[in-house]
Amino acid sequence: MVRKAKVVKKTKETSITVEANIDGSGSYKIDTRIGFLNHMLEQLSKHSLIDLKIKAKGDTHIDLHHTTEDVGLAVGECIKKALHSSKGIKRYANSLIPMDETLTRVSIDVSNRPYLIWKIKLKVEKLGEMDTELFKEWFQAFTQSAGVTLHVENIYGENSHHIIESCFKGLARSLRQALEIDKRIKSKIPSTKGIL
């Protein structure tokens, strides 16, 4: 089964198109009109091996909140749509990501039970043009629309750029592992309920 999808979301605040190929090579073409968010989504694609095409236009003349949140919603929805079924996936994964002085842990359960634990403290209010409080909004939106349980915890670190980048890389590596097909269970649902 080809695990690809496309999602188009349009509101009065944003216009977003996302294409995802779960079984890709990590190629990407991303334009959200927010430089730092582009950089993080490029990391997400590269390290998850999920091909991503993202085109977003939003009311950034007001602030970056709507665009950031809606991109998170669209990316999560697209990955969930591309998955089609949870048959055969490994479901659980976690990653420890070191980045210079920073160490971050990300754990995921692709369970159709959205829940975010966010244990991240940043010393600055902005990274590039982004308010740092928007990163939690992105992860919250992604978690809800992807239907995943996600725990993100910075164990230690000083540099806010390193901390946030390690969060996105941790999500990427965890997604890569959790969405892989486990040859031992092949077409079975990884749950005693028989459904996720």
Domain boundaries in the chain? 4-178
Closest CA to 148 of 178, 177, 190: 178
Is the distance from CB of 87 to CB of 188 less than 8 angstroms? yes
Kindly state the tokens that stand for 97: 């990501």
Is the distance from CB of 80 to CB of 145 less than 8 angstroms? yes
* Coil, helix or strand at residue 131: strand
Look at the block and give the residue holding tokens 């999808």.
5
Kindly state the tokens that stand for 102: 């920073």
Is the distance from CB of 74 to CB of 52 less than 8 angstroms? no
Query: Which residues are bridge partners to 152 per DSSP?
Result: 106, 118
H or E, element range at 75: helix 65-83
Report, at the CATH architecture level, how domain 4-178 is classified. 2-Layer Sandwich (3.30)
Residues 6+ apart with CB under 8 A from 125: 131, 132
* Predicted pLDDT of residue 188: 79
pTM of the complete model: 0.95
pLDDT along the chain (196 residues), means of 10: 94 97 98 97 98 97 95 98 92 98 98 97 94 97 98 98 98 98 83 69
